[in-house]
Amino acid sequence: MNNQKQQKPTLSGQRFKTRKRDEKERFDPTQFQDCIIQGLTETGTDLEAVAKFLDASGAKLDYRRYAETLFDILVAGGMLAPGGTLADDMMRTDVCVFAAQEDLETMQAFAQVFNKLIRRYKYLEKGFEDEVKKLLLFLKGFSESERNKLAMLTGVLLANGTLNASILNSLYNENLVKEGVSAAFAVKLFKSWINEKDINAVAASLRKVSMDNRLMELFPANKQSVEHFTKYFTEAGLKELSEYVRNQQTIGARKELQKELQEQMSRGDPFKDIILYVKEEMKKNNIPEPVVIGIIWSSVMSTVEWNKKEELVAEQAIKHLKQYSPLLAAFTTQGQSELTLLLKIQEYCYDNIHFMKAFQKIVVLFYKAEVLSEEPILKWYKDTHVAKGKSVFLEQMKKFVEWLKNAEEESESEAEEGD
């Protein structure tokens, strides 16, 4: 039996020694601001020295708590009041973006300061993103020069990955759009972004955050057209952005056309109605006929569940395509459209292995139905075919092509006799 008294628990707790370097000085925003501004004033406009000062200060100042104040100072020179104005009674510094020279080289140097700071203190990433979103909403409160500097800086930071393109959402603010501030800001921003990268990299970033189809929203609703966007940004020296938006619009219109076509076909709408709809869309969205025939072919082939047996699928395809021949024929009025259709058939038969033996039968059907004519078929056979299944399909077409050539020669000799 243990006679020792059991030690009673105490409520005093255990004391831990805190390392001096782990201690954070607790400031309110005003004291924090004064400390940062004093340090920036001492470093002067040497941005290398500024970056070193900010790096060292993070060890003793509470960047996490006062991230907004820190970024306000670095951009505007002091704490910003709602709307983007600097309070008169607050300290301010000229070592900031808004007091710097208005040129791309200076903004690139400032971008390095932000980049180094956020790389060193990763937790500032979210705070910086929120800060830029806020600054964009405050654009009307800044001078034109300040807006230009912020736009250039933002473009560089988007290019080097410090910022995510989702921050551009702030530019769709109704008041900024209405007064033309968003569009003017976007010009400077995209110029510096494309200068750092290229239009393909910019497009990829926009696509990642589903912003690639929203650029026209930089303008009021009554000006949201490809024509207005193209004119505005081309005149501002951003032709590549104008072309990108035009292409995006075209791609969107083509996808919409294909979707609507498939719905009309599945409903069994009359061909005359479908043809009328397609021609209106072609005119409205400037879609050329060779592109349209490709869309119609894809739509026609996607409306049916194909047999998996090779010996049965050819018969099924002929029956199905015979039904849709009048629709296809309405959009093969140009030689280029016929060639496009031939290449689409070739690619489809190659990509869907059960159709490999059906190629020649489909071409003959379309020839008889006047969807395709002699000249494009002969041109396809001679030099326009693609590599996919080339040897198989050329062999299949050999006898029919010979027949076409003979028929052509006979009609020529008859014509000569007639003369």
DSSP 86: B
Write down the pTM of the prediction: 0.69
Both tokens assigned to 324: 């849709």
Residues 6 or more apart whose CB falls under 8 angstroms from that of 291 comprise: 254, 340
Q: What is the structure's pLDDT at 346?
A: 97
**Class of residue 217 by CB neighbours under 10 A (exposed 0-12, middle 13-18, buried 19+):** middle
Instruction: Name the band, by pLDDT with cuts 50, 70 and 90, for residue 294.
Output: very high
Q: What is the pLDDT of residues 365-386, one digit of tens each?
A: 999 999 999 999 999 999 999 9
Helix (H, G, I), strand (E, B) or coil at 80: strand
Q: What are phi and psi of 86, to 5 degrees?
A: -90, 130
Helix (H, G, I), strand (E, B) or coil at 310: helix
Q: What are phi and psi of 16, to 5 degrees?
A: -110, 140
Give the span between the Cα atoms of 147 and 97, in whole angstroms: 10
Say if residue 326's pLDDT is above 70. yes
Q: What is the pLDDT of residues 204-253, one digit of tens each?
A: 999 999 998 899 999 999 999 889 999 999 999 999 999 999 888 888 88
Q: What is the structure's pLDDT at 286?
A: 83
Residues 6 or more apart whose CB falls under 8 angstroms from that of 140 comprise: 83, 84, 175, 176, 179, 181
Domains in the chain: boundaries: 29-215, 225-286, 288-412
Say if residue 3's pLDDT is above 60. no
From the CA atom positions of the chain, what is the Rg in Å?
Answer: 34
Q: What is the structure's pLDDT at 212?
A: 87
Q: What is the structure's pLDDT at 1?
A: 47
Both tokens assigned to 269: 């709408």
Both tokens assigned to 16: 């831990």
Give the span between the Cα atoms of 419 and 414, in whole angstroms: 9
Mean local confidence (pLDDT), 188-200: 95
What top-level class would CATH report for the domain 288-412? mainly alpha
Q: What average pLDDT does the structure give for the chain?
A: 90
Q: How far apart are the first and last CA of the chain?
A: 134
**Class of residue 80 by CB neighbours under 10 A (exposed 0-12, middle 13-18, buried 19+):** buried
